[in-house]
Amino acid sequence: MEKPAIEDDADPLAVKFGVGGTQAMIAILTSDELTDEQKINILVELFGLSEEQAEKMLDGGIEDVEESDSENAGEDDSEKADAESDE
C-alpha cells in the first residue's frame, strides 16, 4: 500500500515539520555519509514526501550550490567585497 504524499498547498514544509523537523531534513540533504538513494528513501519514509518531491529537493539543492560556486569561481575576496559594497 502506497503512502499518500504530502500535498502541495499553501503551507511550506518548514511550517508542517517545525524547526526540529526542518533541521533534520537539512541534515539528511547535506549529509556526506548518505547516498542520494538513501536520502530519498529517508525523505519518503520518514517525512512522507513523494519520490518526486524528494528527488526535486535533492537535485534542486545540488544544482543551486553548483551554480553559485561556478558563478563565484575566480573571484577573490576583494572583488566580492567591491560587488557587495556596490549594492
pLDDT in tens, 8-66: 567 888 888 899 999 999 999 999 999 999 999 999 999 999 999 999 998 875 444 44
- Check residue 48 and give its pLDDT: 92
Residue 2 and residue 11: Cα distance in Å, rounded?
23
| pTM passes above 0.75 | no
Per-domain boundaries in the chain: 13-82
Helices (H), strands (E): how many in the chain?
4, 0
**pLDDT over threshold 60, residue 2:** no
Lookup: cell for 22: 526542518
Residue 84 and residue 82: Cα distance in Å, rounded?
5
Query: How large is the C-alpha radius of gyration of the chain?
Result: 17
